[in-house]
A and B are shown apart, each in its own frame.
Chain A
Amino acid sequence: MEILQLIVSGLANGSVYGLIALGFVLIYKATEQVNFAQGDMMMLGAFIALGLGNDSQLGAPFWLACAGAILAMAAIGWTLERAVLRHLFGQPQIAAMMLTIALGFLLRFVAGAIWGHDPLALENPVAGKTLRLGGTVLGLDEVATIAVTVLLTGLLYLFFRRTRLGVAMQASSQNQLAAYCMGIPVRRVHGLIWALAGATAAVAGILFASKGSIDPGTGFLGIKAFAAAVIGGFGSLPGALAGGLIVGLIEPFASRYLATGYAPIVPYAVMLLVLVVRPHGIFAQVHAKKV
């Protein structure tokens, strides 16, 4: 079944977009800043995992390399907020936007300087293996990507719904003034949100580099994930994932059934269409305050 293969590969790519979009939305909801370096954080996370795990590099076991990359990206995210973004608090949004765009260039340069500009693959246990389902052959890497994304989504859901810190993160993104008044340490929460966005980016990067290859320019994938976040409704976490999956699903079908060269346009055309029909995105949590 060719359709099934297209769907699985679309969902796998979409998972990666969705996880990057999740990082966009996490940071935007909490701090009202848009982190345009989110894609580049994904790329850096992948490179750190690769640098730790690949045999030609440090050669640590795969799982250890993954854990290391996730922790390192969480630390990098936290540090960025602490050292840079916090000082832009209360400044116009455009300042943070420019700064994160510059940050993206910086991360690409750093990654290029350390690991070079040629595509590298992350050595991992599922690469090249296949899963036979009835008459269909599926890439194990793609199935694993989807599974990991589902698992991470579930964990994040539990974290935001069940833990005190998770609810406090929601609270401070919904009403910062009230959060301050209730004694929620809003600034520390912002730092933790950046750490979480960094960790999510690392997972996205590991998944992406496991089923293909990575080079410093991969960070531009962030733009596609940004479109996904907009389609899903910027500000909604389930929306970000759904937007990612939608973009991911569109791509393989567009390139299969449309003339060559038109396929890359489709996700953005869908974004325009969504913006015209539902300006807040598909899963927008629009809440008009009662006055």
Chain B
Amino acid sequence: MSVPLLEVRNLECFYGPVMALRGVSLDVPEGKTVAVLGGNGAGKTTLLRTVSGIMDPEKGEVLLSGVPIAGIEPDRIVRSGLVHVPEGREVFPLLSVEENLEMGAYTRRDGGVSEDAAAVFDYFPVLRERLRQPAGTLSGGEQQMLAIARALMARPRIMLLDEPSLGLSPVMVRDIFAIIRRLKEERGVTMLLVEQNATMALDVADFGYVLENGQIALDGPAERLKRNADIREFYLGARTVSPRGDRRWKRRKTWRS
């Protein structure tokens, strides 16, 4: 097998004395979408921030096409083709939609930027209508679209998406995921997707990891994870009923018992 586009090896990360990542390893192959699931505080956001260089890891390696990128400045990581869409629709509120998109292409010096903008509007037509409007006046869903569109402007080899569904209406979540699926299928964008909405994430992903307490508790192809009983109960909300007819009410505390 060829080298995965992104490899994370034994990543350890601290917030002061608190260990947020306890030796996480994962692979994202070229052209695939990999989902990382997990509850609040599992370390999902920390994982993405460390990969994109916003936080420095204590230990471990991050390799982009085999080249180590852990601990280097975020702007150099973006230049090498990895773009992070942070959680919570982080747009530049007082800049116009157009200027936000220009900032997405900040690291690029080639002439293809306006071409890419046209392609981006094909996916997010609403942004074309809002071109001159300050990004802070967009609705939540539009801001999330802008954040993804802005990242695409960097023409990334891999995109990290942190909770794109956070705080959006169910309809908007469906729309966003439909766009993510199109990006994957039509443009072959490689994605590392962090989500609490496991149903949506596993539908679009090829492979999944479950992160718990800063460790990978479970991994496997998305299809298999979807059928996994624990995932079904704890992340997909399915009720499991035991042969005796009573519901399992005492949850397993962790995945590694």
Q: Contact residues of A with B, CB < 8 Å?
A: 164, 167-168, 170-171, 174-175, 177-187, 285, 287, 289-291
Contact = CB atoms under 8 A, between A and B. Distances in A.
B230 interface: no
A244 to B, nearest CB: 22
B85 A181 contact: yes
B136 to A, nearest CB: 5
A167 B102 contact: yes
Nearest to B104: A182
Contacts of B86: 177-178, 181
Contacts of A182: 78, 83, 103-104, 106-107, 150-151, 154
Q: What secondary structure prevails in chain A residues at the interface with B? A: helix
Contacts of B78: 181-183
Contacts of A171: 92, 95, 99-100, 103
Interface string B69-111: 0000111011100011110111111110001101110110000
B92 A285 contact: no
Contact of A178 (B73, B77, B92, B99): B92
Given A164-B106, A167-B102, A183 B92 contact: no
Contacts of A178: 86, 90-92, 147
A76 B53 CA distance: 30
A174 B96 CA distance: 12
Interface of B: 52-54, 73-75, 77-79, 83-86, 88-95, 99-100, 102-104, 106-107, 136, 139-140, 143, 147, 150-151, 154, 167
Contacts of A183: 74-75, 77-79, 83, 106-107, 154
A175 B146 CA distance: 14
Contacts, number: 88
Nearest to A183: B78
Contacts of A187: 73
Contacts of B53: 180
A179 B74 CA distance: 10
B75 A175 contact: no
Nearest to A165: B106
Contacts of A285: 94
A167 B103 CA distance: 8
B94 A167 contact: no
A133 to B, nearest CB: 39
Nearest to A188: B75
Contacts of A186: 74-75
Given A180-B53, A187-B73, 6 more contacts: A174-B94, A174-B95, A175-B93, A178-B92, A181-B54, A181-B74
A261 B147 CA distance: 56
B83 A170 contact: no
Nearest to B99: A167
- Which of B85, B92, B151 has the most chain A CB within a 10 Å cutoff? B92
B78 to A, nearest CB: 3
Given A180-B54, A290-B143, A168 B94 contact: no
A225 B89 CA distance: 36
A289 B93 contact: yes
Nearest to B83: A181
B106 A177 contact: no
Contacts of A185: 73, 75
24 contacts: A164-B102, A164-B106, A167-B95, A167-B102, A168-B103, A171-B95, A171-B100, A174-B93, A174-B95, A175-B90, A175-B91, A177-B54, A179-B92, A180-B53, A180-B75, A181-B151, A183-B77, A183-B78, A183-B83, A183-B106, A185-B75, A186-B74, A287-B94, A291-B88
A287 B86 CA distance: 19
